[in-house]
Structure 1
Amino acid sequence: MSIIADIAARADALTAIRRDIHAHPELAFEEHRTAALVADELERCGIETHRGVGRTGVVGVLRGRNPGRCIGLRADMDALPIHEINEFAHRSRHDGCMHACGHDGHTTMLLGAAQYLAATRNFDGTVVFVFQPAEEGEGGAPAMIEDDFFERFPVDAIFGMHNWPGMPAGSFGVTPGAVMAATDRFDIVVRGRGAHAAMPHLGVDPVQAGAQLVVAAQSIVSRTVDPLEAMVVSITQFHAGEAYNAIPTEAHLSGTLRTLTPQLRMAARERLRQVADGVAQSFGVTIDVTILDGYPPTINTADEAAVCREAAESLVGASQVSWAHRPSMGAEDFAYFLEKRPGCYVWIGNGPGDGGCTLHNARYDFNDGILPLGASYWVRLVERFLAV
């Protein structure tokens, strides 16, 4: 493994930063302390710093030795509304809020790269360090874009990275094409006619129709999608009735659609409505489907993925870089950046996920041992993309 020596020498300092952020988690658009820590450190390194981008985001701009292209590197800063049950000294000091997804580590790795690049400037062009708020479902990326991010910071390409428990520490996963799914939420209201449970023939049962809809919705995946394409339809809520002896008037269902391509995303929405219409006609109920836009699919561009592969292999060797790594059906708002510019989102191994150390788990903790590797990856990526 070829971690940059100067970054490896700062491993303890990076760990201290990471654990400080972990101990003081902040939810979406509330990352005031974290943003101040990031901005202060960028300014200390002599990096041009912009605060309050997309409400609580921070952007640093570092120019190299000569003019050239512009690369964006993005890390997310927000925590999750989860009560941490770890007992180590740097556990969350805020009840009901913790860094359960590793954004504390993402922020620290990018800061480590910024520190090194500010000292060396071994590149032409410009590096834009993007510390984004509100990734966890609140849309910090579109908030930054709406705040004229691309007009103010005209990057030619943009890159992201996420830790992945279960992948060995010292490894990377790089995927050309779709790497994470679109996720759209839906709410469904089934309306029938209430009746006494002893006299069901006098009513129109929305529970029976809703139950059939739960089953029929899975035919969207099993019978209308190419088996080689990925889609997930999950109905996660079903609420109806208040009494043991009464058939209710309404049933309420909710869930998510997850797809890896824009085309399949639109097809899934349309097919869900068609299935609902068919169930409504069969059972004599009315069904209203409301689909709420979620994050689009995260789709890496091939040339940028190849550069990421080269940067990772320069550090850990080809055998430790999984090329065409299997996509995840989770979602990422980095997708919004990739809708505007070429780029790539990669995985960095966080080590075993034993003992609950998995994403969005109350026992999760970022592996401090990979901080120097992640920071070194960012540096090597910059040096390749902005070659002197």
Structure 2
Amino acid sequence: METKLFQRLEQYYDEMVSIRRYLHQHPELSFKEYETAKYIENYYKELGIEVRGNVGGNGVVARVKGTKPGLTVALRADFDALPIEEETDLPYKSKTPGVMHACGHDGHTATLLVLGKVLHELKSELEGEYVLIHQHAEEYAPGGALPMIEDGCLDGVDVIFGTHLWATVPFGEIQYRVGPIMAAADRFQITVNGKGGHGAQPHRTHDAIVTGAQIVSHLQQVVSRRVNPIDSGVLSVGSFVADNAFNVIADKAKLAGTVRTFNETVRDQIEAEIETIVKGVCLANHSDYEYLYERGYSAVVNHKDETHYLVEQAKQIPDVMSVKEAEPEMGGEDFAYYLQHVKGTFFFTGAKPEGVDVPYPHHHPKFDFNEKAMLVAAKTLGSAAIHAHQAETVLSGQE
């Protein structure tokens, strides 16, 4: 069965590449992926596969049923792009100004579409059911996963698998991790309201820039001096704006940044510590403040048995040259929410471009990935899906 699956995926590899390149030329931003969603839905309809659009927004869910009883296995791919002006010289570069697939979601979509096609062709020999989740709006919180879950995309699902094409990992390598693999991703905004005035009369002012600078300095101590060093955390101030004439002392300064954590207790602690610092510094500088902390995606926490199962499947795939434990990534992913509802695992598929020593990172205007990695991802996801019945006792939580 696995041989048939792999042979057909290889047979349709050119189609996979064609789909990816079409989607790359026609990217759409989070929550605005209307044409991409139509494309996905029509692809399945033309194959005669059961499909539902407008799931939780622009999401699309297709279902392939085998002829024999078994587990219901979900596979997920995201399909939104980023507000980035593409700077590659690819012949299939984005045709939409200021929008680019700079994270590989075009490849994720092409991978799952063709895998769904092959599963449909082999359904008479398959056990159980396969739920193909095409998710919108992964790039921008609150994301598309939660509304799709609320709209029933996980109904009846026993286990879920997902992967991310990872351009900084060597081609042919699968990276996994039990427990947290990607971080919770939060954002914060701080507004310092001081008292402006003439640059020649600082004693008559409450300088918002000086107050903001002190806040930035103190924030650097939150992780280094207040969080247990056994735990992980990142606090980064990414924006500091106080736009004034050269001889005017600012009455207002706006700061914004991000917090990344794996542990919910640490997450709570950092949120509170930021406000303690802001409150104290503003009080000392006779200024008021506004503080907004927005929680983004939770940490992606992989389940142990499902991860070990995926690892064993990956090791049997000829195209997979190595299977390694991954270091936790501080990037965020709303695949986290699927794993809060259903057991499963999320892994990285190495997609480093050929002939490149140092690839451009994800979210870079010159980002690209090795398209052959889509075939590796399809085989790994497909193998995990079709063999799930062999590990049904473990994957259904009945051990």
Q: How does 1:99-178 map to 2 (within 5 A)?
A: 99-121=101-123, 122-138=125-141, 139-150=143-154, 153-178=155-180
Please, which of 367, 370, 373 is the counterpart of residue 373 of structure 2? 370
Aligned to 2:235: 233
Unmatched 5+ residue regions in structure 2? Answer: 393-399
1:251 alignment counterpart: 253
Q: For residue 332 of structure 1, what is the aligned residue in structure 2?
A: 333
Conserved 8 A contact 1:176-1:305: yes
Unaligned runs of 5+ in 1: none
Assess if the C-alpha contact under 8 Å between 2:66 and 2:127 holds in 1. Answer: yes
Task: State the Cα distance separating 1:316 from its structure 2 match.
Answer: 4.7
Distance 2:270 2:287 in 1: 22
Aligned residue in 2 for 1:379: 382
CA distance in 2, matches of 1:267, 1:318: 41
Distance across 2 between alignment mates of 1:385 and 1:146:
25
Amino acid at match of 1:302: K
Paired AA for residue 49 in structure 1:
V
SS at match of 1:179: strand
**What is the distance in 2 between the residues matched to 1:365 and 1:376?**
21
Q: 4+ runs of 1 displaced by more than 6 Å? A: none
Deviation at 1:356, TM superposition (A): 5.6
Report how far residue 180 of structure 1 moved: 0.9
Q: Which moved more, 1:312-321 or 1:17-26?
A: 312-321
Structure 1 residue 160: Cα displacement: 1.3
For the residue of structure 1 that corresponds to 2:130, the secondary structure is: strand
Tell me the distance in 2 between the aligned counterparts of 1:179 and 1:123: 31
Aligned to 1:310: 312
Partners in 1 of 2:296 and 2:352 — Cα distance? 30
The 3-state SS of whatever aligns with 2:270 is helix
Identity value in percent: 36
Q: Tell me the CA shift for residue 106 of structure 1.
A: 0.4
| Counterparts of 2:361 and 2:59, CA distance in 1 | 26
> Paired residue for 2:267?
265
- What is the CA distance between 1:354 and its match in structure 2? 5.0
Count, aligned residues: 384
Q: CA deviation at 1:303?
A: 1.3
Amino acid at match of 1:326: E
Amino acid at match of 1:141: A
Preserved CA contact (<8 Å) 2:161 2:381: no
Per the TM alignment, residue 135 of structure 1 is displaced from its structure 2 partner at its CA by 0.9
What is the TM-score with the length of structure 2 in the denominator? 0.91
For 1:345-381, what per-residue CA distance to the aligned partner results, in whole angstroms no more than 9, with x for missing partners?
1100011465763211112223211222111111101
1:174-224 C-alpha deviation (Å, 9 max, x unpaired): 011111111111111112222322222222222111111101001111001
In structure 2, C-alpha distance between the alignment counterparts of 1:252 and 1:88, rounded to whole Å:
39
Q: Letter of the 2:53 partner, please give it.
A: R
Contact kept in structure 2, 1:356 and 1:362, CA below 8 Å: no
Letter of the aligned partner of 2:131 in structure 1? V
Q: Is the 8 A contact 1:307 1:384 kept in 2?
A: no
Task: Pick closer, same or farther for the CA change 1:201–1:256 going to 2, 3 Å.
Answer: same
Equivalent in the alignment of 2:361: 358
Q: Give the root-mean-square deviation of aligned CA atoms.
A: 2.0
Find the residue that maps to 1:74 and give its secondary structure: strand
Q: Distance in 1 between matches of 2:287 and 2:62?
A: 56
SS of the residue 1:125 aligns to = strand
Aligned-partner SS, 1:27:
coil
Counterpart contact for 2:320–2:376, Cα < 8 Å: no
Match of 1:80 in 2: 82
Q: CA distance change for structure 1 residues 326 and 277 in 2, over 3 Å: closer, same or farther?
A: same
1:248-286 residue CA offsets vs partner (Å, 9 max, x unmatched) = 222111111111122211111011111212212332322
**Rounded Cα–Cα distance in structure 2 between residues aligned with 1:356 and 1:382:** 31
C-alpha distance in 2, partners of 1:42/1:110? 11
Counterpart CA distance in 1 for 2:250 and 2:49 is 62
- Aligned with 1:71: secondary structure? strand
CA deviation after TM superposition for structure 1 residue 241, in Å:
4.5
Q: In structure 1, what is the Cα distance between the partners aligned to 2:103 and 2:357?
A: 15
Contact 2:173-2:320 within 8 A present in 1 as well: no
Q: Distance in 2 between matches of 1:236 and 1:362?
A: 19
Contact between 2:189 and 2:293, CA under 8 Å: does it hold in 1?
yes
Q: Distance in 1 between matches of 2:6 and 2:310?
A: 17
**Distance (Å, rounded) in 2 between the aligned partners of 1:93 and 1:196:** 49
Structure 2: distance between partners of 1:33 and 1:318 = 34
1:307 to 1:123, Cα distance in 2 relative to 1, 3 A: farther
Cα pair 1:171 1:316 within 8 Å, conserved: no
Between the aligned partners of 1:7 and 1:15, the Cα distance in structure 2 is 12
CA distance in 2, matches of 1:26, 1:243: 38
Corresponding residue for residue 188 of structure 1: 190
Helix, strand or coil at the partner of 1:117: helix
Alignment partners' CA distance in 2, 1:81 and 1:276: 31
